[in-house]
Amino acid sequence: MRHIVGGDDFATEKIEILSARTNALSIKGASSAMMQVDLNEDTVDAKEMQNGEILLAQSIMRNTQVAYAIFINIKKLEDELRKLGERIKEHENKINHLNSEKSKYDDSILHLQVIIGKSESSSMATAGNMDNPHSTNDEEVNKQILQHEKSAAGILCELKIHHGAQTSHLTSTKDVVGVVATLGKVEDDNLSRLFSEYLGVETMLAIVCKTYEGVQAIEMYDTEGCINKNYGLHGLGASIGRALDGRFLVICLESLRPYAGNHVVDDAQRKLDILNPRLPNGECPAGFLGFAVNMINIDSSNLFFVTPNGYGLRETLFYNLFSRLQVYKTRAEMIQALPCISEGALSLDGGIIRSCGVFTLGNREDIDVRFPRPERSKELDNHHGEIARQLMEVKQKKENIMGDVKRVQALLDEARLNFNKTKGDYLKYLAESSSNATQAQTASDRFVSR
């Protein structure tokens, strides 16, 4: 296809070459004829030579006319190929732009679905949970924690219930933020059970501290390295009749490696702006609802809490607990998305993938400590209604984009078909041009050899 670019110069050059050949042949033929006349004065031979020269000139003229006709066709085809190439490029750019817009709408749809906190297929079930008076609330979570009588979380919970104001000033608890189960809320009870099962009861009852000094204040040791049960949380437990027994987890926020990315712009909950998973074909997997870390609601009292390093609960505590754990509608859709699951996944029907290649099978385990559900309010209903309206609007825009992509793709396919057909004609005329030049040269050589 290199002849297409600079088509005018290329075609002109071919005519000039043919003309040069014609002149050369004429001069060569004439010189040969003169030599024959000088050497042989026989008039018959001279006439034969003159007739041959005339025939050669006529042949060259015919070849020149044919070459010019071929040149005109080549020039027309070059112009047509150039126009078709520009049209193809225009259609390809348009499709790329439309696909980029479609990708943005896909991300918006997923983001809105995550804000709503439920999939379309489970919306009725979620609404039922909202109206269920037995759904988990703050009071219910406190009761669940208190049932673990000899746990550090149980001791801390009872201290806050009965001595709330004093607890924040005690040396052993003033640096404590709270228990994991009390620091986040989940709008759907089914998701709450899933998250609790994924984390396990030990993690749900873990105590969260701001600094390492706070961790040291919770438990102290004697000179032999044994626990001094007169101080720290052990001493507080003994003072209220709750002896602390067994191991327990304490999470130090300032020691956690935080999420290093950005937050979702204009999001009241300061959700993490994590890129949605993509299959090898570039599509977002079917049934993907969002990331578990962004499905946790944080109370306004803790929403703007920051560690000494300036990080909040979501990018420290919950990001380390859930990382990039993905949530799907069904187990089947979760399995289909395996190529893009690297740090675990959950499905609303109970499927759990702990990490790449590690599956949790068997019956679901009902953990007795779960995240509470946010209080239902008119403002929340209005917010969900507005988000649902936005979701429908974005879906409609995506459908319009898909229609435009289909239409432009049809135009692109047609332009490519025409380009390939015209390219074939162009190559055929180039071959004819080369053949015509070869014939002219052969005729000239034949005459001269006589």
Q: Are 287 and 328 in contact (CB under 8 A)?
A: yes
Model pLDDT for residues 150-199, shown as the tens digit of each residue: 889 888 888 888 776 667 778 788 889 999 999 999 988 889 999 999 99
**Of 163 and 285, the one with more pLDDT:** 285
CA–CA separation, 123 and 188 (whole Å) = 10
pLDDT at 4: 43
pLDDT at 48 over 60: no
Q: How far is CA 392 from CA 5, 174, 186, 389, in A?
A: 49, 47, 24, 5
What is the chain's alpha carbon radius of gyration, rounded to the nearest angstrom? 41
pLDDT higher for 278 or 376?
A: 278
Cβ-based neighbour number of residue 66 at 10 Å: 18
Query: CA 146 from chain center: how many Å?
Result: 44
| Contact in structure between 228 and 221 (CB atoms under 8 Å) | yes
- Whether pLDDT at 62 is above 60: yes
**Is residue 408 very low, low, confident or very high in pLDDT (cuts 50, 70, 90)?**
very high
The region of weakest confidence among 131-135, 230-234, 265-269 is: 131-135
Q: For residues 135, 136, 137 and 143, what is the CA-based torsion angle, rounded to 10 degrees? A: 130
371: nearest Cα among 415, 429, 418, 318: 318
Average pLDDT value over all residues in the chain:
78
Q: Which residue has the tokens 């396919």?
A: 413
For the beta carbon of residue 282, count every other beta carbon within 10 angstroms: 8
pLDDT at position 96: 93
| Range list of H helices, 117-188 | 123-131, 138-146, 152-167
Helix then strand count (H, E) for the chain reads 13, 8
pLDDT band at 35 (very low <50, low <70, confident <90, very high): very low
For residues 251 and 388, which has the higher predicted lDDT (pLDDT)? 251
What digits encode the pLDDT tens for the residues 433-443?
A: 777 666 666 65
CA distance 126 to 131: 9
Q: Which letter does DSSP use for residue 350 in this model?
A: S
Give the pLDDT confidence of 286-299 residue by residue, as tens digits. 889 889 999 999 98
Q: What is the pairing mode between strands 352-355 and 345-347?
A: antiparallel
CA-wise closest residue to 281 among 99, 91, 88 = 99
Q: Which of 99-113, 247-261, 357-371 has the highest mean pLDDT?
A: 247-261
Q: How many residues in total does the chain contain?
A: 450
Q: Which two tokens stand for residue 401?
A: 């984009």
Q: Going from the N-terminus, what domains does the chain have, and what CATH number goes with each?
A: 1-131+378-450 (1.20.1260), 136-281+292-322+350-372 (no CATH)
Query: Which tokens sit at 107?
Result: 């991300």
At 185 the three-state DSSP class reads strand
